[in-house]
Amino acid sequence: MIQLQVRTSGRQSFEDITSQVQQAVSQSGVQEGLCHLFCPHTTAGLTVNENWDPSVQHDMGLALDDLVPQRRDFRHSEGNSPAHVKSSLVGASQTLFVDGGRLVLGSWQGIYLAEFDGPRTRKVLVKVVTA
């Protein structure tokens, strides 16, 4: 298993980790298989989305803010319940195909660590297996 470190840039941000994940795939030596990604945090997650226009990440942030606003009747004492809910909505894992030693992604797709309670340094665990 390979562990990536990702420094996030804002309270809520989407960090493109595609090249770091591809590096882990190359390091694994696997040519045909699966790349499993896991984010071991409760206020961050992983998503695959457009990596051409950065406005898409901005708009995803706004939409998630609309879906999960702060509420006075949230009970969690840390005060970051929206971040926990967004983390569950986005999900903690992704599985991607590996073909010819390369991640298989659509032309406009990138892999993002979605930060909801940053900025901080986050971990992403990567396991590449032959399949």
Residues that bind Zn ion (CB under 5 A): 78, 80
What is the Cα–Cα distance from 94 to 111, expressed in whole angstroms? 9
Smaller CB separation from Zn ion, 44 or 96: 44
Smallest distance from Zn ion to CB 80, Å: 4
What is the Cα–Cα distance from 114 to 34, expressed in whole angstroms? 21
Residues 6 and 15 sit within 8 Å (Cβ to Cβ):
yes
Smaller CB separation from Zn ion, 32 or 78: 78
Helix (H, G, I), strand (E, B) or coil at 74: coil
Smallest distance from Zn ion to CB 124, Å: 20
Q: Identify which of 65, 49, 47, 52 has the alpha carbon closest to the alpha carbon of residue 11.
A: 65
Smaller CB separation from Zn ion, 41 or 112: 41
Smallest distance from Zn ion to CB 117, Å: 7
